[in-house]
Chains A and B, each alone.
Chain A
Amino acid sequence: MFDLSPAEAEALRLSLKVGFWSVAASLPLGIAVAWLLARREFPGKTLLNGIVHLPLVLPPVVVGYALLLLFGRNGPLGQAIEAIFGKTVIFTWQGAALAAAIMAFPLMVRAIRLSLEAVDKKLEAAARTLGAGPLDVFVTVTLPLILPGVLAGAILAFARSLGEFGATITFVSNIPGETRTLPLALYSLTQQPGGEAGALRLAILSVLLAFAALAGSEILARRLKRGRT
């Protein structure tokens, strides 16, 4: 039954591309922010924590609108990007990835922060006495120890990105082949007369995709665990 139509295949491909890049690009920042929140005390920490978690509690439309204001042709960041790259991210798949990354960011940071807080700092101290500098310790001790948490955060963020709808449609609209990801394609079908069958196919496809992501993370987590204990 799953011979995908060209439009469906395009939406799937686009969803995977947007999901992958939103996670890949935000992961280093996610680790850095999680580290700051887990390990450092600084003025404005509560504020940073609040801003990171904002997308979790705000209506996605608000996030999309804020992105439009910031990254639009007249927005401060939009003008800067246009000056450098000669184009803006609105109405592009990169914009969709940006929206998805911001919506998924709190989930990613939470997972990584939890695993960072579970790391025994005494192991890091031991590594220091063995001649490793702070960065060396982070790469060779901390990072391997939090890998399951990083993985969980990445999968969670990826799954969240696949489902992103509100911020995306507000920020980059619903352009076939550019920003029409699976949820947007599904939404479009529900707005058309006679689109129910197509909508159902996309819904099933979304469920399968979600299961695949979960299964993938489970397998990876098990493999990590086996290598460790």
Chain B
Amino acid sequence: MLEVDLEARAGAFRLKAAFSCETAGIVAVYGRSGAGKTTLVNALAGLTRPERGIIRLGGKTLLDSQAGIDLRPEKRRLGYVFQEGRLFPHLDVRGNLLYGARRAAGGDSRLELGTVAAVLGLEDLLNRRVHDLSGGEKQRVALGRALLANPELLLMDEPLAALDQERKDELIPFIEALRDRFGVPVVYVTHAMPEILRLADMLVLMSDGQVVASGPVEEITSRLDLRPLTGRYEAGAAIRARIARHDPAYGLTELDFAGGTLRVPLLDEPPGSGLRLRIRARDVALALRRPEDTSFQNIFAARVAEIADDSGPQIDLRLDVSGVPLWARITRRAFVDLDLAEGRSVFALVKSVAIDRHSVAPLPGPGGLDRPRAGLENDR
């Protein structure tokens, strides 16, 4: 459990952040540039001193300004992966990886250099100089270095932001591997929604130095009132599903979720695997009667739960599919023609081909250890 209640000032900028969340899996901190994400994480790490506040992690108080507790960064045992790596140029890869490990308190042998290097694919780089590494390799070393310090929580400040798309896709499976293999909870700062949908379980939404909302990713991203912050283009719903069966003959995979069965293009994961699935609002169409003779492979009975009408030519509707939120974006003309209103029963139509593999992310679970490696190979 991470409990945060902070007030900090950096120049004219004011941070006022209060939230608490379970520290299991990956907690994403999301917001636009200047929302105060980095200020928040630096305060968590103890690199900046807030004016006032409380930080508690799993019953341990890191900061309590009223009680006069302010643990120094080296005593907090929070690993920090910086955007720009911050590897030590005077040490080789091994020296960097072991810097924190040598100072880790308690001599907990949970993590060994060999294991971490293997998971992060660093075995062949150990004797290399930091200077010669590529951007992706540097970030992998940074991940390993922070992990080997045996932290109770890993902070990551936009660890992918400095990389090109190809390197990002390459690194994400390693972050998943970190989470699944070593079970270290992660606070992951980003302004990229795709990374959140792929990686995060919980979401802390920030704007103008304030925490606006926090909770499960699916819940926050489907809240209408938060749409100005979570973004319109990316509007859509995140859904948890499980692979029911594969249909190789047609190249399809059937997924079970609370609202029914969803057919998507064939996935690699074995039946039974948990997934998070992103269905964009613009890929969902509506009908008043169940259509017949249609190419739509996915048709769900739904109810219009909420209407986001910003008087533009497009209108977003939140649908309730047996309790699962789904977003549909339709034209104003269609909205008027269909005479839609809150509470109206409709059918949601989702094209299978609209869901590509970038919309699908594995969830940690049984057998989760091997999956990130498999995912990596697919990305290559």
Contacts and interface: CB of A to CB of B under 8 A. Distances in A.
A145 interface: yes
A40 interface: no
Interface stretch (B85-93, B180-188, B190-198, B336-344): B85-93
Contact of B47 (A128, A141, A145): A128
Interface string A111-155: 000000000101101111111110010001100110000000000
A136 B89 contact: no
B332 interface: no
Interface string A214-229: 0000000000000111
A129 B47 contact: yes
B53 interface: no
Contacts of A144: 90
Nearest to A131: B103
A126 B77 CA distance: 12
Contacts of A122: 82, 84, 86
Given A122-B86, A123-B86, A128 B73 contact: yes
Interface in B338-371: none
Given A130-B149, A145-B89, A136 B82 contact: no
B220 interface: no
B80 to A, nearest CB: 4
B74 A133 contact: yes
Contacts of A229: 89, 129, 131
A131 B74 contact: yes
A129 B79 contact: yes
Contacts of A145: 89-90
B105 interface: yes
Contacts of B131: 228-229
A128 B45 CA distance: 9
Contacts of A228: 89-90, 129, 131
Interface in B195-217: none
Contact of B103 (A126, A136, A141, A227): A136
Interface residue tally on B, bucketed by range: 20 to 34
B146 A130 contact: yes
B86 A132 contact: no
A99 to B, nearest CB: 36
B164 to A, nearest CB: 22
A140 B99 CA distance: 9
Nearest to B98: A130
B45 A131 contact: no
Interface residues of A, number: 20
Contact of A129 (B73, B88, B104, B105): B73
Contacts, number: 69
Interface string A5-26: 0000000000000000000000
B317 interface: no
A129 B103 contact: no
A48 B299 CA distance: 78
B90 A132 contact: no
A131 B149 contact: yes
Nearest to B75: A131
Contact of A141 (B77, B88, B145, B146): B88
B141 to A, nearest CB: 12
Contacts of B82: 122, 126
Given A131-B74, A133-B74, A126 B89 contact: no
Contacts of A133: 72, 74
B328 to A, nearest CB: 45
B263 to A, nearest CB: 46
A131 B100 contact: yes
Nearest to B100: A130
Given A133-B72, A133-B74, A126 B90 contact: no
A229 B87 CA distance: 13
A140 B96 CA distance: 11
A141 B74 CA distance: 15
Interface centre among A125, A127, A130, A229 (most CB of B within 10 A): A130
Interface string A187-212: 00000000000000000000000000
Given A122-B82, A229-B131, A129 B90 contact: no
B78 interface: yes
Interface of B: 45-47, 72-74, 76-80, 82, 84, 86, 88-90, 99-100, 103-105, 129, 131, 145-146, 149, 155
6 contacts: A123-B88, A130-B100, A131-B103, A144-B90, A227-B90, A229-B131
Closest 3 CB pairs of A and B: A130-B100, A131-B103, A128-B73
Given A129-B78, A131-B103, A229-B89, 17 more contacts: A122-B84, A123-B86, A123-B88, A126-B82, A128-B47, A128-B72, A129-B79, A129-B149, A129-B155, A130-B74, A130-B103, A130-B145, A133-B72, A136-B74, A141-B90, A228-B90, A228-B131
